[in-house]
Structure 1
Amino acid sequence: MKACLNGGRRVEEHPAVPVTAEQLASAAVDAVAAGGEALHLHPRDRLGVETLDAGDVGAAVTAVRRGCPGVSVGVSTGLWISEGDVRRRLAAVARWVDLPVAARPDFASVNVGEAGFADLVQTLHQVGVGVEAGVWSTADAQELAAFGAAGWTRILVEIIDSPAETAAATADVILARLDELGVAGPRLLHGEEAACWQLVAHAGRLGLPTRIGLEDTTIGPDGQPATDNAHLIRQALNLWTAAATSR
């Protein structure tokens, strides 16, 4: 179970969204205590805006690692963070090589469908950061197969903007296509907002890892507002386990 602590969500959307390095560390400690086994976060700058700046990334990772030693920590490289500027994103990530090893993320997620995917994967490997490949569609699966083997940390099958009632079927199509194409690497299945909980349960039925946190939803499976990331983790583990035992 991976905890996705904040994403691009604002405090105005939920008061427990962690923004500063210290808040991320505190949320991470609680999420791990609740059963989170890996951590995904979006570092922010002093204004609370998502950033790829080495100083901000290093500060966030260092704080989280201090609170959660031995737990793998990953960050986003979403192209929106650099306002769609492929070169600026690549240059920012390349500067992570100047961070002490302890301040570098263990892995970073890279969306296959974004421009600059191949160059960014190469750069992450050069700076010693593992890569999670974000697959949103069968077209992304095809693109990933064409790219070839790259020792992926994980293949993230991410069902984005899908109605809850069709999310599981959509996931099955993408997972099947990855298998048909022979794409190697551990799978993690998750969704967001309305489809989030259906996919946590579906991951349990399939025996796949999943993720949960305030990045993906602020609402529990019962439709009630979540207290914080740890609350979501506990609910997701209960749902995943129940689905897994029903297989």
Structure 2
Amino acid sequence: MSPRGLQVPVSVSVNGARNAADGVAVPLSPQDVVESVLGAVAAGAGEVLVHPRTPCGRESLSPRVVGPLLEALRGAGVSVPLSVSAGIGAEPGPARRLERVRSWTVLPDRAAVHFAEPGAEELAQALLARGVAVDAVVPLGGEDAGPGADPLARFLAWPVRDPARIRLVVELAVADPALVAGLRWLPPVPLLLFGREAAAWPVLRLAARCGAGARTGVGDVLHLPDGRPARSNAELVAAAREVLGSGAAATAWSR
């Protein structure tokens, strides 16, 4: 059991779509990513989401980028599940994303597929066919859900044939319990909630109240709950566990 009896799993978004302009807390090089992940896991992260990058800092799904990074993380002793973002930021074209995923020689445990982006259903199916679990990312509560029409409807229309390998990851623009209440009637898959920037910490608290998975990390937020700049992913994970541990235990709400 985790500290203070905390049972809400905490995922860490290691670098997200950030770049060097976002500060030294954002790890970009493989070595920095490995060091940051080791610190985050030591602080209590139960899984890792990373955006692999080329030496020049561009996001990439190339097997020559993804494979070495995953091998470096596992070689360093990272034993928690590793997830890769398979989004438009790394490869704009849907067909090219499929090609990249099918050419991976080293596989992550999970991959994040954004259902607001074109080709999400085909990409998710290709990942499942390769034995990679899928995080179906759906934004809720924002004015602009992205280029695809109604990402949640797209997810619901996509046949969930293997719920054991699919998780619904909901990005909330605001920590509105009403938005989460509507998720009770969705397919029986695990649920993770997260927010970005100002919404990050309120959504994390909401996740704890709902008994859903929670996420933090410099990929989502650069400040601690008290407003101070975060110095590392480890500091954010430690703060998240403190917030979750000191808050009310998860309610009986379940899916």
TM-score normalised per structure 2 = 0.86
* Correspondence for 1:213 among 210, 217, 223: 217
* Correspondence for 1:241 among 241, 245, 250: 245
Q: What amino acid does structure 1 have at the position aligned with 2:40?
A: A
**Is there any run of 5+ residues in structure 2 with no aligned partner, and where?**
1-9, 142-149
Looking at structure 1, the residues matched to 78 and 33 of structure 2 have their Cα atoms a distance apart, in angstroms, of 14
Looking at structure 2, the residues matched to 246 and 130 of structure 1 have their Cα atoms a distance apart, in angstroms, of 25
Q: Which residue of 2 aligns with 1:94?
A: 102
Looking at structure 1, the residues matched to 246 and 151 of structure 2 have their Cα atoms a distance apart, in angstroms, of 31
DSSP 3-state at the match of 1:210: strand
Looking at structure 2, the residues matched to 68 and 210 of structure 1 have their Cα atoms a distance apart, in angstroms, of 23
Higher helix share: 1
Structure 1 residue 222 and structure 2 residue 231: aligned?
Answer: no
CA-CA distance at 1:142 after TM superposition: 2.2
Q: Bigger shift: 134-143 or 212-221?
A: 134-143
Q: Which residue of 2 aligns with 1:12?
A: 21
Does the 8 Å CA contact 2:14/2:37 hold for their aligned counterparts?
yes
| Count of residues paired in the alignment | 232
The Cα offsets for residues 102-158 of structure 1, whole Å up to 9 and x where unpaired, read as x31001000112110111011112222111100113832222121121434321011
Q: Bigger shift: 228-237 or 59-68?
A: 59-68
DSSP 3-state at the match of 2:49: strand
RMSD: 1.7
**Is there any run of 5+ residues in structure 1 with no aligned partner, and where?**
none
Q: Which residue of 1 aligns with 2:42?
A: 33
With a CA cutoff of 8 Å and minimum separation of 6, indicate the structure with the bigger relative contact order.
2
Q: What amino acid does structure 2 have at the position aligned with 1:216?
A: D
Cα distance, 1:19–1:46 mapped onto 2, change above 3 Å: same
Looking at structure 1, the residues matched to 170 and 246 of structure 2 have their Cα atoms a distance apart, in angstroms, of 21
Does the 8 Å CA contact 1:28/1:67 hold for their aligned counterparts?
no
The Cα offsets for residues 169-192 of structure 1, whole Å up to 9 and x where unpaired, read as 1x642x333322x31210001000
List 4+ stretches of structure 1 deviating above 4 A: none
Q: What amino acid does structure 2 have at the position aligned with 1:65?
A: R
* Correspondence for 1:61 among 49, 70, 76: 70
> What is the percent sequence identity of the aligned residues?
32
CA-CA distance at 1:91 after TM superposition: 1.0
Looking at structure 2, the residues matched to 185 and 222 of structure 1 have their Cα atoms a distance apart, in angstroms, of 33
TM-score normalised per structure 1 = 0.88
Cα distance, 1:211–1:246 mapped onto 2, change above 3 Å: closer
